[in-house]
Structure 1
């Protein structure tokens, strides 16, 4: 069931239709997938300033579609009272303030669950809510550093390489989504909400599963010994004659045999992981790859059933026929953006409304909560909304 004024799901097939989420988060798409799945997401933003992501309009539009925007000053008692009313009618609250901020406002889990025992409260922080670094500011690069990922990913000079996408950030958004869905499922059994705690550092450690499992068992682990860091010729990137690059992923012996066969280097069979032969094989393979263009090698190796892919620029990504086939690129209102990342045999997930302007739905949401027109105008005048 939806409370009055909830977002209409025009397709009528939202998995989470009827679930109401109060979103206090900033910048990252913590609730984007939930909104795409039909949940009613009310994005609470600071009056006049809004989410930091608004400074990048294309990004904001892509990650805040299917949501409504409510401006609310949580530093004011009236603003916090409005939030409490939202929570009373909501299913989930998501926040990513530094530890202690919600407690200072009197909006901690104990207080909010007292107003709504069915509330699922998802708290996201950089390093966790306890420990010596709990209050440190941070971004993706910092979490990957402390989590050991940058320490493993180094160039030939030994300098850590910063990835081109936000790994801890986006991973935390996904884990938060999984945690919230799990809590909603559990609530169907117990009738009770719960408190969820997720950190970007924890996400980084989660992604460290392979190297940490080896390290904790006493294995020597480094960029020189791990198989998936591009230091072995069977799992690496090679330059082609047109100055472009190709990735090879021949972890299994059968694929290594096929690769060596196509390259005419069968003498390297049995030396897939040979540290003594590694440099020699790299040099030999690179010389061969420089004899043809990237697309020629892609065709030859694909036909031989070798794990291979061209290293694309963003322009090339979105013109590739396989990328188009994923359905991830959608057009809405003359704009192109990434869509929903999986398909269902029962439901069709598609944008229901564009990203909101700042405070676009403030008036209607307040009226849904029972405030009169006069009270709304008074709150506007006072800077509450």
Structure 2
């Protein structure tokens, strides 16, 4: 699955004490970049909670798969190491890995690892060069630090649900665990920055990340719209708060996205859909004016586009360089010629005792010198327990 090149993080060792999605997203990214990732899983619970978040599951010869699609989405390029932290043997194993590690990622409740001697204060004191990243719902400080955090709760608390969904309907979460995923991305960025600092100074550090903090940070323009105007943003469905027309429109045979980004594009758009009168109307000459008369303009455009075929609209607008496009299903998107050209789907051979491959979403990063690595399919629970004797002796980690 690779061309033999080493990854950018080859030689970096990660102790992964995380589960569910935010932490595993970060550690999978580190593994994709070449790091060796040891995922610690609790034998009492059968490992990461998401192993049971199905169906669907990958097929196995014994018919008892612990490879849910959800688990596989965030756990390739990892070694599954069973360890019960409530036992001395389990703690000794994790501490032995920590002694070799460059990075620790955990998402226990704040203070939850102190009783095991695996908290950031203890491990960073023992290993001053360690980059230790803690992910939690609300962070290590603040009045809500002890509350549990799940993606849905973060989307609700952090404001994004108030902006998502039909204007007349209920607040709606984003269709995937975006608060978790984005927190994992922020975690990866922070870890790599801290790793560079460590390599320059020898000094590790503790990183404190919260689902709610990161979700608020990616409110982006709607957050700054509120801070600038004092007006609470509201749901607009598919419409844009700052650009008109930038929306989904019904056509005679489906729906089309129209994303007019400036006044020149609006002029070309009106000509292309044979509505030159709208281009000449003083109410719509500038984007600021179009926002003011958003509802009237949207009704006019809806009445026009609903009489036209979707593909004809797309072809016409693309010809005059007005951004537009279809709304794909997941199947459409992943089967598209663009997805195939960019390796959006990867086929990974299983390296456990069961036959067959698994299909996973590819990493979108394209390096010219250190390509992303696809060297280990998501592991069965405890699949790499045979490595434990060596890990306790502190050997050189397995080469990716």
TM-score where L is the length of structure 1: 0.87
Aligned match of 1:209 in 217, 220, 227?
220
Alignment: residue pair count: 362
- Is the Cα–Cα contact under 8 Å of residues 153 and 229 in structure 1 kept in the other structure? no
Question: Which residue is 1:102 aligned to?
Answer: 113
CA distance in 2, matches of 1:227, 1:329: 27
The unaligned stretches of length 5 or more in structure 1 are 1-8, 372-385
Aligned match of 1:22 in 9, 12, 15?
15
Aligned match of 2:268 in 245, 258, 261?
258
1:319-357 deviation digits (Å, cap 9, x = unpaired): 221222222222223432211111111122241121111
How is 1:145-156 mapped onto 2 (pairs within 5 angstroms)?
A: 145-156=156-167
The unaligned stretches of length 5 or more in structure 2 are 55-67, 350-356, 395-400
How is 1:1-385 mapped onto 2 (pairs within 5 angstroms)?
A: 11-28=4-21, 29-48=25-44, 49-55=46-52, 56=54, 57-223=68-234, 229=240, 233-242=244-253, 244-269=254-279, 271=284, 272=287, 273-275=289-291, 277-333=293-349, 334-370=357-393
CA distance in 2, matches of 1:240, 1:331: 36
CA distance in 2, matches of 1:357, 1:184: 30
Summarize the Cα distance change of 1:122–1:150 in structure 2 as closer, same or farther, 3 Å threshold.
same
More displaced 10-residue stretch of structure 1: 72-81 or 122-131? 72-81
- SS of alignment partner, residue 73 of structure 1: coil
> Residue 164 of structure 1: CA displacement?
1.0
> Residue 275 of structure 1: CA displacement?
4.9
> Residue 197 of structure 1: CA displacement?
0.6
CA distance in 2, matches of 1:285, 1:363: 64
More displaced 10-residue stretch of structure 1: 53-62 or 223-232? 223-232
> Residue 249 of structure 1: CA displacement?
1.3
- Is the Cα–Cα contact under 8 Å of residues 328 and 341 in structure 1 kept in the other structure? yes
1:58-101 deviation digits (Å, cap 9, x = unpaired): 23234211110101011123211221111111110000011120
1:120-168 deviation digits (Å, cap 9, x = unpaired): 1000000111222212223222112211211223422152122212221
> Residue 17 of structure 1: CA displacement?
0.3
- SS of alignment partner, residue 312 of structure 1: coil
> Residue 247 of structure 1: CA displacement?
1.3
1:292-328 deviation digits (Å, cap 9, x = unpaired): 3322222211111111121111111122212222222
Question: Which residue is 2:57 aligned to?
Answer: none
- SS of alignment partner, residue 64 of structure 1: coil
Summarize the Cα distance change of 1:132–1:191 in structure 2 as closer, same or farther, 3 Å threshold.
same
Summarize the Cα distance change of 1:275–1:13 in structure 2 as closer, same or farther, 3 Å threshold.
closer
- Is the Cα–Cα contact under 8 Å of residues 80 and 385 in structure 2 kept in the other structure? yes
